[in-house]
Structure 1
Amino acid sequence: MYFKLDVQSLESIIVTTGLFGIILITNVFVVTIWLSRNIRTPISVLLSIIAIYDTLAMMSGLVRMISSYIFGNWPHVTGCYVDIISFVLALLFHSLSILSTTFLAIQRAVVCAFPFTGPRLCGTKTTAFFVVVSFAAMMTFCIPLVLFRDVQSIIKLSTNNVSAMYCSLDNIVPFKEMWKIYSILRFVTLHLTPACLITICMAICLLTINRRQMVSNQSSNRQIKARTTVMLVLVMFIFVLGELPTTVLMYYPSFLPKQPAWIKTSMGIWFCNTTLNVSYMMNIWVYIAMSKQFRDQLKEKFTVCTINSDQGKTSNTNSQIINAESNIPPE
Structure 2
Amino acid sequence: MADNKEWAGFYGVENRSNFKIEDDIYQGTLDFPAKSNYSLYENQTFDPEYSNFTTDDFCTSNYSHVYLNVTCEFPVNYAEPMYGYIAPFLLATTTVANTLIVVVLSRRHMRTPTNVVLMAMALCDMFTMLFPAPWLFYMYTFGNHYKPLSPVRACQAWMYMNDVIPAMFHTASIWLTLALAVQRYIYVCHAPVARTWCTMPRVKKCLIYIGIAAFLHQFPRFFEKEFVPHVTVWRGRREEVCRSEISAWVHKLSVDAYFITYFTFRVLFVHLIPCTSLVVLNVLLFRAMRTAQINRQKLFKENRKSECKILRDSNCTTLMLIVVVTVFLLVEIPVAVVTILHIISSTLVEILDYNIANVLILITNFCIIVSYPINFAIYCGMSRQFRETFKELFIRGSVTSRNGGSSRYSLVNGPRTCTNETVL
TM-score normalised by length of structure 1: 0.81
Q: Distance in 2 between the 1:292 and 1:55 partners?
A: 24
CA drift of 1:63 comes to: 3.7
Could you say what secondary structure the match of 1:84 adopts? helix
| 2:160 is the alignment partner of 1:81 | no
CA deviations 1:90-116 (Å, max 9, x no partner) are 110000000000111111112211123
Give the aligned residue type for 1:167.
Answer: S
- The equivalent residue for 1:238 is 327
Q: Distance in 1 between matches of 2:232 and 2:117?
A: 45
Tell me, in whole angstroms, the C-alpha distance in 1 between the residues paired with 2:371 and 2:280: 20
* Kept after mapping to 1: 8 A contact 2:117/2:180: yes
RMSD: 2.9
- Identity of aligned pairs, percent? 20
* Alignment match, 1:270: 362
Q: Distance in 1 between matches of 2:276 and 2:131?
A: 27
| 1:164-179 equivalences in 2 (<5 Å) | 167-173=244-250, 174=253, 176-177=255-256, 178-179=258-259
| Corresponding residue to 2:265 among 182, 185, 196 | 185
CA contact (8 A) 2:155 2:242 kept: no
Partner amino acid, structure 2, of 1:176? V
Per-residue Cα deviation, 1:8-47 (whole angstroms, up to 9, x for no partner): 5543322111111101101111111112111221111101
CA shift in 2, pair 1:210/1:149, >3 Å: closer
Equivalence for 1:44: 115
Is contact 2:227-2:242 (8 Å) kept? no
Aligned residues between the structures: 299
- Secondary structure of 2:324 counterpart: helix
Residues 240-319 of structure 1 aligned to structure 2 (within 5 Å) = 240-257=329-346, 258=350, 259-265=352-358, 267-304=359-396
Q: Secondary structure at the match of 2:149?
A: coil
Q: Distance in 2 between matches of 1:292 and 1:156?
A: 61
Q: Distance in 2 between matches of 1:188 and 1:201?
A: 18
1: distance between equivalents of 2:168 and 2:181?
Answer: 20
Alignment TM-score, normalising by the size of structure 2: 0.64
Give the conservation status (yes or no) of the 8 Å contact 1:13–1:62: no
Q: Which moved more, 1:101-110 or 1:177-186?
A: 177-186
Going from structure 1 to structure 2, the CA distance change for 1:263 and 1:239 (only over 3 Å counts) comes to farther
Aligned equivalents of 2:368 and 2:362: distance in 1? 10
Q: Is the 8 A contact 1:42 1:127 kept in 2?
A: yes
Deviation at residue 248 of structure 1 after TM alignment: 2.1
Distance of 2:371 and 2:396 partners within structure 1 = 29
Shift of 1:191: 0.6
User: 1:29 corresponds to which residue?
Assistant: 100
The residue aligned with 2:125 is: 54
Distance across 2 between alignment mates of 1:30 and 1:211: 31
Between 104-113 and 148-157, the greater mean CA deviation after superposition: 148-157
The whole-number CA distance in structure 2 between the counterparts of 1:199 and 1:98 is: 13
Match of 2:70 in 1: 6
Contact 2:149 2:155 in 1 (8 A): no
What is the CA-CA distance between 1:277 and the residue it aligns to? 1.2
For 2:330, what is the secondary structure of its paired residue? helix
**1:63-91 superposed Cα distances (whole Å, 9 cap, x missing partner):** 44345554651431333201221111011
Secondary structure in 2 aligned to 1:116? helix
The answer to whether the aligner puts 1:91 opposite 2:167 as a matched pair is yes
In the alignment, what sits opposite 2:308?
219
- Return the structure number with greater helix share: 1
Task: Look up the equivalent residue of 1:179 and give its one-letter code.
Answer: F
* The 10-residue stretch of structure 1 (76-85 or 44-53) with the greater mean CA deviation from structure 2: 76-85
Gaps of 5+ in 2: 1-17, 19-23, 25-64, 234-240, 300-305, 399-424
| Greater Cα shift, 137-146 or 233-242 | 137-146
Residue equivalent to 2:419 = none
Change (3 A) 1:119 1:304: same
Amino acid at match of 2:271: H
Matches of 1:13 and 1:180 in 2, distance apart?
32
Shift of 1:142: 1.1
Shift, 1:148, TM fit: 5.3
1:141-179 deviations in Å (ceiling 9; x for gaps): 11111125841366999xxxxxx9863242534462221
